[in-house]
Amino acid sequence: MSSNQLLNFIGGAWTRSSANDYLDVTNPATAQVMALKCRWRRR
């Protein structure tokens, strides 16, 4: 199964994250991975 990466809405445009670390977004009813979300970190 391929998962979709969720995009970030920044400055009026959808952009990919520059992060290399992602979290799985799962459907709680089926435990199926629906998407990947970048992991946010403070600098």
- List the chain domain ranges: 4-38
Spatial CA neighbour of 4 closest among 39, 26, 38, 36: 36
Q: How confident is the model at residue 20 (pLDDT cuts 50, 70, 90)?
A: confident
Residue-averaged pLDDT of the chain = 80
Quick one: average pLDDT of 8-12? 89
Instruction: Quote the CA–CA distance of 27 and 8 in Å, as a whole number.
Output: 20
Quick one: average pLDDT of 33-41? 79
Instruction: Quote the CA–CA distance of 28 and 43 in Å, as a whole number.
Output: 31
- Higher pLDDT: 1 or 3? It is 3
